[in-house]
Structure formats: C-alpha cells, structure tokens
Structure 1
Amino acid sequence: MDRKEKVKILERHFGIKSKYLGALSFAYEIQTDGETYTIDREGRIILKSGEERQLEEILEPRPEEVEAQAELGVELEIPMDGHQGNTLRNILNLIYSKQPLIKKVLGIEEDLVETDFIEALKEERVKSIDSFEKALNKIGYNGHPGVDFDFENKTFTFKHAKGEAAIWLFALINKKAKTQKFSQVKQTETDNEKYTFRTWLNSLGMIGKDYGEIRKELLENLSGNPSFRHPKREEA
C-alpha cells in the first residue's frame, strides 16, 4: 500500500481532510482533537510524540471507544479499510466456525451466518472487495443477518455487539480476519465449551490480565472447565 492510499484511508477514518506540508518534507498531516498524524515520504505514520504507528493499529477501536459504544448499547460499525474481499469472507467464516458457542455467549437464538449461505460463498472466487460484493449479490439473499455490509460507505456492522465484552469479541474477530489468508468453515464440536472458547479467544489475541474480566463475561454462559480440556481426567 502506497502512502497516498494510507492518507485516503485515514481521511475517511477520521472524517478529516489531510494537509500537504510541501516540498521540504513531502509529508501529509492529519490533525484530530487528540493527535497529529504525519505520513512521511516513505509512508510511515508518525505521531506528534515521534512514535511510529501502524495503520492497522489506528483503525482498530481504542479501549475508550469500546467502553463508550458499550455504554450507548450501539452496534459495532467498522470501516472496510485494510480489508480485501477474502478477509471480509474470513470474518463470516470465523464467526460460523464457532457460531453455536457465540450464540450462547451472546444469549441469542438466531444464526449470525447461515449454513447454506456459507456453503454457497465457499464456491465463489473472492479476492477483492468488489468480487466479494458480487459474490453476495450472486448468492442472492441475506444469509449473514449478524453482519451487515455497506459497500457504498465501505463499512460493515456487527449487529449483536451489545456490551463491552461483545464489542471486544467482534473487534478481535475483525483483526484476526485481516491476518489470515484462509479460515476454516467447519463448525467446532466440543464437550467442553469453556475450554474450546477460551483457547479460541487466545488465538484471537484476547490474552493477558487486561482481558481477564472480558474473558470471564464471555465464558459465563458456557458449560465445562476453562482450564482443562478433560477436567474429570485432571481431577482423577
């Protein structure tokens, strides 16, 4: 990705027009209420403190943003910036693979992604966002009621992101989807829901004390033992 693409992505993300700083630095600058982002001639994004920041880090919701959205009880809307068609498909595949557990975690009955839809999408060649949109149109029905795609505004929305824990779950699913070339579509069968879901949360990056309360809340409605794969065997 060249620096002009990065500038355009940041402009859309913040809703602020960049300023070109001229021939001495050849840099672009974007000023928000709390930060100044300078995109230098090499395409690096530099904060006013001099620290370099990756584009993906800026696009991810900050903890204070997650808390604010949780208090409002709103759905989680995320820009498509940084995504390709295959990574948007990864989001649906990741959700589908753990859907029975995610539904229990969120306390909902309806599927977020339908099986017939996933099977149909699996047959489509998807690389770019345009090809992903065409694939959805070809399939011809909304088989992903838990995730809404707005191709006109280049955003997508998780419909069941109510509460801080759910927002973090979907935010990390989004982040994981960007890093994977392919994600499995087979649903996981388990006799220890808490252990299976906890290890999956770890794979999403929900690791460490900072996520302790969030993990606890997400595991609350599940059965089993989060610490041991076979708890009875460990107790024996």
Structure 2
Amino acid sequence: MTRKELVQALEARWGAKAKYLGMPSCDYELKCSAGTFIIDRDGVIRDLEGREVSAEELLREEDLAPDGETAPSEPGELPAEGYAVELPLAGHTTVSLRNLVNMLASKERLLISAFDLPRPLMETSLAEELGQRSFADMKAFQVFWAESQSGCCHGLKLDFENQTLTMKLLKDNPMPDEMAAFRDLAVCMTEYAKKLKHSTFKPAQEENPKYAMRTWLLRLGMNGDAFKLARKVLLARLAGSAAFRTPADEEKHKARLLAKKQKPCEVDGDVC
C-alpha cells in the first residue's frame, strides 16, 4: 500500500480529512477521535509523543472513551463488525431516497461480488415494494420505511430523528482499500441519487459484470485519478471485460484494428 492509499484508508476509517503539512517534512496530519497522528513520507505513523503506531492497529482500533474504556454506543449506532459510512440526510427527498434504494437493489449482485459479501446490502423485495408506492411527503416515506425495511435492508440505515444516512459494508475485517473504495462509492451514490429525477428497480446485466460495474461507476462520476484506487478495487473480483460489453464487440474491435494495420498506405498516389 502506498502512502497515498494509506492516508485515504485512514480518512475512510475515521471519517476525518488528513492535512498535508508541506515542506520540508512532507508529512500528513490526521486528527480523529482516536487522537492525532502524523504520517511521514515513508508511510510511518506516529502519535504526538513520537511513538510509532502500526497501520493495522489504527485501522482496526475502536473508538475509546477518555478513561480508556470502550465508548458507549450512540443511539442508532450500527454494530462494530463491518465498516459504516455516515452521511447527512439533509438534502434528500422521497425521490432521492427511492433512487438510492433502487440503485442498491439493482446492483445487488455486482456489489456482492465486488466486495465478496456474505449477503446483499439491500433485498430486492424492498425495492419492488417501494416501486408500488407513492409518497406525498417525507413523513409518509418515513412511515413506510419504519414498517417495511426490517430485515430487508441490511446495508442502509436512515435515521430521521438524527438526520443521518448510513451505508454499511457487511463484511468483517475489510481491507483498508476496500473501506476507502466503499466510502467513495457511498458518497457518489448518494449524490447521484439526489440528481436523478426518476429511477426504477432493474437488475444489472450479468453477462459481463466488469463492464456493467465500470459503466455504472462512470455514471456516478467516479472517473479520473481521484477514483483510480476505488475503480481498481471495485473491478478486481468481477469477471468479464471492462472495455467491451460482449465478446462479439471485442472481436469486431480486433478485426477493425487488424484491417487498419494491414491496409497499405499511400503517398501521392503511390503505395508505401
């Protein structure tokens, strides 16, 4: 793991942004509920007293109360296993929440394969039930959610009282790069859900999972160098080709390249 990937994983684990301290040290400083830590140019982590801290320890560490005891769970807090990303519920509407549910259900198999999950984040039955309902306002959606989602939605928690939306990676001891990728995905999914005017539940095509995932990530805006690691993680376990939807498309592309290579060039009417 590079230093950049380590910093991203720590940011994802603790929900805090690391600060680059610049020259001459080139260190990063991370302030989180576990304390303040410095990551040097070699990727070595130290606390403010200069003691070295292992990356594995810091990525697995539980939040501690000041006396060293495990901090009590906050209302609505998810169990300790897995990895959770908490985001604000503010800005969401009944439409955007419906969009988010439809995305999670539609991409159920892709997400299970990408993260090697033991169970889906969202049962398709919830999306199917949601598709048959309409809501006058958020209060009506809240009533539906309270009555319908029990046992159907393992990876999405909506806390209307505290105005938080939590997405959970249902996997014990996920790797740091998986946590970072999941956080990026959760943020982009919720933002994309707000932009969509309408969506329906439709399972992703299964003939080429890698292509389906890649095109979905691009729609979410997960392109460019900022999401390079996330794309790598999300595509690594999937079968198929990321570049071509079908083998026939790939063969057509190869044939075009071969024909172009074999075509003689001309200079002033003469064959090269």
The answer, yes or no, to whether TM exceeds 0.5 is yes
2:101 maps to 1:92: yes
The corresponding residue for 2:210 is 194
Aligned to 1:69: 12
**Greater mean alpha carbon deviation, residues 157-166 or residues 168-177:** 157-166
Pairing 1:111–2:120 present? yes
User: What whole-Å deviation, never above 9, does each CA across 1:181-211 have from its counterpart, x for those lacking one?
Assistant: 2112010122111111100000000111222
Deviation at 1:79, TM superposition (A): 1.0
Give the aligned partner of residue 111 of structure 2: 102
Match of 1:35 in 2: none
Distance 1:204 1:66 in 2: 21
When structure 1 is superposed on structure 2, of 186-195 and 160-169 the one drifting more is 160-169
Partner residue, 2:153: 144
Distance 1:83 1:104 in 2: 28
**How far 1:67 sits from its partner (Å)?**
4.5
- More displaced 10-residue stretch of structure 1: 105-114 or 195-204: 105-114
SS class of match (1:76) = strand
Distance 1:127 1:66, change over 3 A: farther
Relative to structure 2, which stretch is displaced further, 184-193 or 159-168?
159-168
Structure exhibiting the larger radius of gyration computed from Cα positions? 2
CA contact under 8 A between 1:194 and 1:226: conserved in structure 2? yes
Specify the code of the residue in structure 2 equivalent to 1:117. L
Report the residue type matching 1:134 in the other structure: V
Query: Which of 139, 145, 154 pairs up with 2:163?
Result: 154
Q: Which runs of 5+ in 1 are unaligned?
A: 1-63
Displacement after TM superposition at 1:66 (Å): 7.1
CA distance in 2, matches of 1:67, 1:218: 19
**Take 2:210 and 2:109, find their aligned partners in 1: how far apart are those partners?**
12
User: Structure 2 vs 1, CA of residues 139 and 213 (structure 1 numbering), >3 Å: closer, same or farther?
Assistant: closer
**SS state at 2:166 partner:** strand
> Aligned partners of 1:114 and 1:181: how far apart in 2?
23
Question: Could you list the per-position Cα deviations for residues 75-128 of structure 1 after superposition, in whole angstroms to 9, with x for gaps in the alignment?
Answer: 100111111122112111111111100111111021211122221111221353
Aligned mate of 2:236, from 207, 214, 220 = 220
Alpha carbons of structure 1 residues 194 and 147: separation in structure 2 relative to 1, 3 Å: same
TM score, norm. by length of structure 1: 0.67
Q: Which runs of 5+ in 2 are unaligned?
A: 1-6, 15-58, 61-82, 256-272
Deviation at 1:140, TM superposition (A): 6.2
Q: Is the 8 A contact 1:89 1:132 kept in 2?
A: no
Query: Does structure 2 conserve the Cα–Cα contact (< 8 Å) formed by 1:86 and 1:128?
Result: no
Residue 164 in structure 1 maps to residue 172 in structure 2: no
RMSD in angstroms over aligned alpha carbons?
2.2
Please state how far the C-alpha of 1:220 moved relative to its aligned partner.
0.3
Number of corresponding residues: 173
The answer as to whether partners of 1:117 and 1:139 remain within 8 angstroms in 2 is yes
